[in-house]
Amino acid sequence: MKKHTDSVEKEFRFQKMEWLVLRAGWCLMAAFLIFGLLGFFGSGTVSRKTAENNAAVIEYERYLRNLLLSEIKIYSKKPLPDSSVYISSDYLNKVRIDKVVPEPASSELQNDRLKLKFNSNEGDPIVLYVVPTGLGSQDLEIEIRGEKQKLHQYIHF
């Protein structure tokens, strides 16, 4: 029995090291949660972004999560003369547009861009409900009345 407990005591150096590692792990776990609360993994203060140009104000999430629905809201500053919004089509390789509100009158691919044509725009935002299907960083280019706006997003797994 003495032999057994002696060998247990010999492991005490490893145990002391383990306590240090565990406490470092707890700090990392806390940091992970704080980053999550702030929105580094989506839906939070850091993630919510607004981009603005002469034509529109666009609200979007900087960080997305794979297969989790997200919104892109486009507020037009003036009624659109041609009531059309263009979205870069390479964006659609990583993101699926689930729904558009209001429903566009037509949508078509035009010169590597998705054109969404609306019948009227009376100040209500155009909301794109998107579901990320890919991973990693991606750029989205939205064009309204000839004004291009580039947005950067990151999709977490």
Partner 1 sequence: MESIIIRAAIIYFFVFLILRLSGKRTLGEMTTFDLVLLLIISEATQQALLSDDKSLIGGMMAIATLVFMDILVSLVTHRSKVADKIVNSVPLIILRDGKPLEDRMAKERISIEEVLEAARKNQGLESLDQVKYAVLEVDGSISIIPK
Residues of this chain that interact with partner 1 (CB under 8 A) are 1, 5, 8-9, 11-12, 14-15, 18-19, 22, 25-26, 29, 67, 157
Q: Among residues 142, 21, 48, which one has the least CA distance to residue 92?
A: 142
Q: Is the CB of residue 107 less than 8 Å from the CB of residue 114? A: yes
Instruction: Provide the 8-state DSSP code for 89.
Output: G
CB of 7 to partner 1, least distance (A): 9
Strand partners for 95 = 132
Tokens of 56: 């529109």
- Please, which residue, 5 or 111, has the CB nearer to partner 1? 5
Q: How far is the CB of 94 from partner 1 (least distance, A)?
A: 15
Nearer to partner 1, 99 or 152 (CB): 99
Q: How far is the CB of 34 from partner 1 (least distance, A)?
A: 16
2 vs 112, which CB is nearer to partner 1?
A: 2
Closest CB 65 distance from partner 1, rounded Å: 11
The nearer residue to partner 1, 69 or 105, going by C-beta atoms, is 69
Residues 6+ apart with CB under 8 A from 102: 118, 124, 126
Q: Quote the least distance from Cβ 9 to partner 1, whole Å.
A: 6
Tokens matching residue 63: 């960080």
Rounded to whole angstroms, what are the CA distances from 17 to 22, 25, 26, 42, 117?
Answer: 9, 12, 14, 35, 63
Q: Which is nearer to partner 1, 26 or 38 (CB)?
A: 26
